[in-house]
Amino acid sequence: MQNKTSDIKVAVDAIVFGYSKKEGVSLLLIQRKYEPYKNSWALPGGFVLADESLETAVIRELQEETGITVNYLEQLYSFGEPDRDPRQRVISIAYFGLVKTSQFRELKASTDAENAAWFSIKKLPALAFDHKQIIRQAVERLQSKIRYQPIGFELLDKKFPFSDLEKLYAALLDKEINRRNFSKKILSFDFLEETGELSKPEGKGRPSKMYRFNQKRYKELLKEGFHFEI
């Protein structure tokens, strides 16, 4: 039997979720410049070079195809169906991250990408390869993770009204949340502190207390065996 393992290529894909209070959750996509799937939208990514790690490859591909650098990307899963790429057998290692959309407005497509753009997670275009499946799995991981780790706080301003935190979780979980229960639970964790300031009212609304996330206190709680769960 002929050994064809040498025909297998390794690639990386990046699922970068963006968030803004006004626009909600969005996803970073690129428009492919070449076949296969020329002009189709896809996740940023590409083949891993012989002399680089997976992490280096995904950072490089993001920079080359979108012009952005994301500080933290977490490995999601390996996708290796034999027919996922029409060119040859390709195994893709997917990474996902969560960023403030406002920090990455300037996108610069290059190399294999014709364009790069943010799309609402609820209005995604038709996608190349198996990227719809990859995104679905990334959404499930994100929604699971924010229930047991407060990763969303970095998407808020340093000082924020509690309503901003509610909007963030409702957007990431894609469902309405019970405001009273949510508030009671979050405040019971003892890592939010009042700043003593009030927010500027929007329209006819009343000013609200401003809070900040106490990262030091959160780390202390973790050492004490604290369990975060929403």
Domain boundaries in the chain?
A: 8-137, 151-223
Cα 78 from chain centroid?
A: 17
One-letter identity of residue 97: G
Cα 213 from chain centroid?
A: 20
Contact, 128 vs 134, CB < 8 A?
A: no
> Is the pLDDT confidence value at 212 over 60?
yes
One-letter identity of residue 168: L
Measuring CA to CA, how many Å separate 216 from each of 71, 101, 193, 229?
Answer: 20, 26, 12, 19
> How sure is the predictor about 86, in pLDDT bands with cuts at 50, 70 and 90?
very high
Query: Given phi > 0 = left and psi -120 to 50 = alpha, else beta, which region is 67?
Result: left
Which residue's entry shows tokens 């891993």? 48
Q: What is the per-residue pLDDT for 149?
A: 86
* DSSP helix/strand/coil, 76: strand
Nearest to 14 by CA among 90, 81, 69: 69
Q: What is the pLDDT of residues 11-67, one digit of tens each?
A: 999 999 999 999 999 999 999 999 999 999 999 999 999 999 999 999 999 999 999
Q: What is the per-residue pLDDT for 113?
A: 94
Give the global pTM: 0.90
CATH topology of domain 151-223: Arc Repressor Mutant, subunit A (1.10.10)
> Is the pLDDT confidence value at 204 over 80?
no
Looking at the DSSP assignment, which residues form a beta bridge with residue 20? 24
> How sure is the predictor about 2, in pLDDT bands with cuts at 50, 70 and 90?
low
Cα 221 from chain centroid?
A: 26
Q: What is the per-residue pLDDT for 80?
A: 95
> Is the pLDDT confidence value at 5 over 60?
no
Superfamily of segment(s) 8-137:
Nucleoside Triphosphate Pyrophosphohydrolase (3.90.79.10)
Nearest to 174 by CA among 134, 151, 150, 146: 146
Pairing of strands 209-213, 192-198: antiparallel
One-letter identity of residue 4: K
Average pLDDT estimate for 95-107: 94
